[in-house]
């Protein structure tokens, strides 16, 4: 079971890849146009357009190539619990929410992070929420909300934050799943 449909997740990833490419490609085109406009208007337009397009294409191509590697690794996994696609330290992964643990599977080809398990016991704090986006992040993600899953082994463990795209009311589904499986006791 997936919290977000895979096809919808892939379309969101593609939209963000396009927005990232535009974020860098358009300013390159404008700057190169302004720098070369004195040598001729149409030559400057062509020069800016070509190099802006090359910048956009390079960023888009690299992101899509990474996503193809992610899909190859996803097909090799055997999943038994509900899952959600997440970013962990800017690497794409899959978080599996079983009854007694959270399992992270790295999907980024050649990624630095490895798979790990976090047991859901009385010392493991888990929370879910929305990330407030500002500035460039709002433009890159347009109408896509980002959510987070925060885990920490109490009292002295290091926190881990997983970021996900909040589509199909994913946040409330995750909250219900975590409340059903979490054994952490809050002190009041």
Q: Give the CATH number of the domain where residue 170 resides.
A: 2.30.29.30
The pLDDT assigned to 99 comes to 84
Are residues 92 and 176 located together in one domain of the fold?
Answer: yes
Domain termination site, one of 34, 49, 75:
75
Q: The tokens of 109 are what? A: 């080809």
Are residues 54 and 92 located together in one domain of the fold?
Answer: no
Are residues 104 and 172 located together in one domain of the fold?
Answer: yes
Whether 1 is in a domain gets the answer: no
Are residues 173 and 86 located together in one domain of the fold?
Answer: yes
Q: The tokens of 163 are what? A: 């970021």
Give the bridge partners for 117, in sequence order. 103
pTM of the model: 0.82
- Nearest CA-CA partner of 137 in 23, 4, 3, 12: 23
Kindly give the confidence (pLDDT) of every residue in the chain, 188 residues in length, as a single tens digit, with 9 standing for 90 and above. 788 888 888 888 999 899 889 989 999 999 999 999 988 999 999 999 999 999 999 999 999 999 999 889 888 888 888 889 999 998 999 999 888 888 999 998 888 888 888 888 888 888 898 998 888 888 888 888 899 999 988 888 889 999 999 888 888 888 888 888 777 765 54
Residue 134 in 3-state DSSP?
Answer: coil
Whether 38 is in a domain gets the answer: yes
Domain that includes residue 85, residue range:
81-181
Are residues 28 and 11 located together in one domain of the fold?
Answer: yes
The burial of 186, by beta-carbon neighbours within 10 Å (0-12 exposed, 13-18 middle, 19 or more buried), is given as exposed
Are residues 29 and 45 located together in one domain of the fold?
Answer: yes
């Amino acid at each position: 079971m997936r919290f977000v449909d895979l096809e919808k997740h892939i379309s969101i990833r593609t939209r963000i890849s396009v927005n990232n490419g535009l974020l860098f490609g358009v300013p390159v085109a404008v700057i190169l146009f302004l720098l070369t406009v004195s040598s001729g208007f149409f030559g400057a337009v062509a020069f800016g357009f070509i190099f802006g397009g090359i910048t956009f294409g390079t960023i888009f191509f690299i992101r899509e190539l990474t996503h193809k590697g992610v899909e190859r690794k996803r097909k090799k996994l055997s999943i038994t619990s509900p899952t959600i696609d997440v970013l962990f330290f800017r690497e794409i992964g899959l978080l599996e929410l079983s009854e007694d643990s959270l399992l992270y599977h790295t999907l980024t080809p050649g990624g630095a992070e490895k798979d790990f398990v976090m047991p859901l016991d009385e010392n493991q704090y888990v929370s879910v929420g929305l990330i407030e986006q500002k500035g460039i992040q709002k433009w890159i993600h347009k109408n896509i909300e980002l959510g987070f899953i925060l885990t920490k082994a109490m009292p002295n463990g290091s926190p881990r934050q997983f970021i996900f795209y909040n589509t199909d009311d994913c946040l409330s589904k995750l909250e219900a799943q975590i409340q059903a499986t979490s054994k952490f006791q809050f002190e009041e």
